[in-house]
Amino acid sequence: MPAPISTATSSVPSQANGSSNRAVLSLLTSLFFTWGFITVINNTLLPHLRSVFDLNYTQTTLIESVWFIAYFFASIPSARLIERIGYQKSMVFGLVMMAAGALLMIPAARMPSYGVTLVALFIIACGITLLQVSANPYVAVLGSPETASSRLNLVQAFNSLGATLAPLFGAYLILGRSNSGTAEAGRVLTQAEKLADAQAVQLPYLIVACVLVILALVIARFKMPSMHHGATSRVSDAEREKLSLWKHRNLVFGIPAIFIYLIAEIGVANLFINFTAQPEIGGLSHEQGAHYLFLLWGGMLVGRFVGAWAMNKTTAERVLAFCAIGAFIVMMIAALGTGSVAMWALISVGLFHSVMFPTIFTLGIKGLGPLTEEGAGLLIMAIAGGALVVVQGWLADTVGLQLSFLLTAVCELYVLFYAVWGSKATNAFPAEKAA
């Protein structure tokens, strides 16, 4: 068992009233927005790099695989860093790390170097992992356990807001300023054009680095309540050793649910622009495709607000099952249809994907009691499933880009299984009131 990642069970000191909770939640919302924005810049960066470095789909999706491999390798070190320096300083450190990675993109563009680009993106992703591990505990405790899914969906909506705006930023400052982004589909660039295109990413990432540094300074000066591990002290260490995570069905099936869902979400987002460029689908330029990607992430934004409202009216499991069925249907249309029907089907999957991650996460830790730290840590590490997007890249090279989305449809079926049966809590501990 890996060292526990401290998530979802810490408690805010009792003097933290509703007003201070809202202030902290607002600050955390800015972090969710930030890492959503930066993550989705990759979706406009990938087709750009594919043209610059003459990459096939496997090599292109490997860039995103490196990004999500960081979640696997950085989760445990992030937890240990938090134990040493605390949550607030860890958030600041994560933002500074992301800024350093963004600045490294500048020499990577000047060379240009595919390898240095991978290193820079890995550093940024490690910083985001540290933010994820730092922010999730606060969101979990700032409210009652019964509304955890609704609350996390609400906060994740601002993550989607960042993701929605990122394609416009990337389309204007990366694709709109490059030959590969404005060229007609199928046009081969000259070596001089490729060099100029590589350097087009310098300004966007310089802007990103400056924003990250400013946000780090704001958080460093913000008075945040310290977090204490009160919830995990309900049982002694000896008693805790007798408890097993693997007796909790909702966690056992929730870990692969997060892992598999990430394959679906990242595969759609990363290959979307290339999909719309296919002559039989849309025949769009990469710049035009980025504007439609805006609608995909906009659907996730709307879906999370709607999901947060719906989960106050019905169970999270029902909402998740409905979305899984909808996602499966539209992915089958995208994989087997043609023209605008297939393109709009792929766009609409964002609406159904919207609630999946936060809902699976909260259902996965439900009833874990003193084991919540370890369980939540494993769920966070399962985000590394996004690294397997390279499998879809291989499928795209082997059977064709459009048919590769059948893999996504299969992923939706597992989410449906989890909603209907796998999420049912077994051996659940009684729920505790939030501090």
Q: What is the DSSP code string of 31-60? A: HHHHHHHHHHHHHHHHHHHHHHHT--HHHH
Identify whether the C-beta of residue 415 lies closer than 8 Å to the C-beta of residue 289: no
N residues, the chain = 435
Confidence bin at 96 (pLDDT 50/70/90) = very high
Query: Mean pLDDT over residues 279-291, rounded?
Result: 87
Residue with tokens 């995990």: 232
Higher pLDDT, 248 or 196: 248
pLDDT at 354: 93
- CA distances to 97, 122, 222, 345, 433 from 92, rounded to whole Å, are 9, 18, 11, 40, 30
In this structure, what are the phi and psi dihedrals at residue 246, rounded to the nearest 5 degrees? Answer: -80, 0
In this structure, what are the phi and psi dihedrals at residue 11, rounded to the nearest 5 degrees? Answer: -125, 140
Percent of the chain with pLDDT over 90: 35
- CA distances to 103, 205, 352, 353 from 209, rounded to whole Å, are 6, 6, 32, 29
pLDDT at 310: 93
Query: Mean pLDDT over residues 178-201, rounded?
Result: 61
pLDDT at 3: 38
Amino acid (1-letter code) at residue 274: N
Is the pLDDT at 414 greater than 70, yes or no?
yes
pTM exceeding the 0.85 threshold for the entire prediction: no
Distance CA(193)–CA(201), nearest Å, equals: 14
DSSP state of 401: T
For 215, the token pair is: 């946000």
Partnered with residue 11 across adjacent β-strands are 228
Query: Mean pLDDT over residues 129-145, rounded?
Result: 72
Identify whether the C-beta of residue 378 lies closer than 8 Å to the C-beta of residue 256: no
pLDDT at 177: 60
Distance CA(411)–CA(229), nearest Å, equals: 36
Highest mean pLDDT among 49-58, 282-291, 343-352, 360-369: 343-352
Residue 114: CA count within 13 A, CB half-sphere: 16
pLDDT at 147: 67
What digits encode the pLDDT tens for the residues 107-135?
A: 888 888 888 888 998 999 999 988 887 77
DSSP state of 402: T
Confidence bin at 255 (pLDDT 50/70/90) = very high
- CA distances to 53, 113, 248, 355 from 271, rounded to whole Å, are 17, 22, 36, 21
For 34, the token pair is: 């930030």
pLDDT at 236: 56
Confidence bin at 103 (pLDDT 50/70/90) = very high
- CA distances to 185, 189, 263, 317, 393 from 270, rounded to whole Å, are 17, 22, 11, 28, 10
pLDDT at 359: 93
Helix axes 286-310, 148-170, angle to 10 degrees: 170
pLDDT at 232: 39
Which candidate, 276, 280, 277, 52, places its Cα nearest to that of 186? 277
On average, the pLDDT of the chain sits at 81
Assign 126 to helix, strand or coil: helix
From first CA to last CA, the distance across the chain in angstroms is: 28
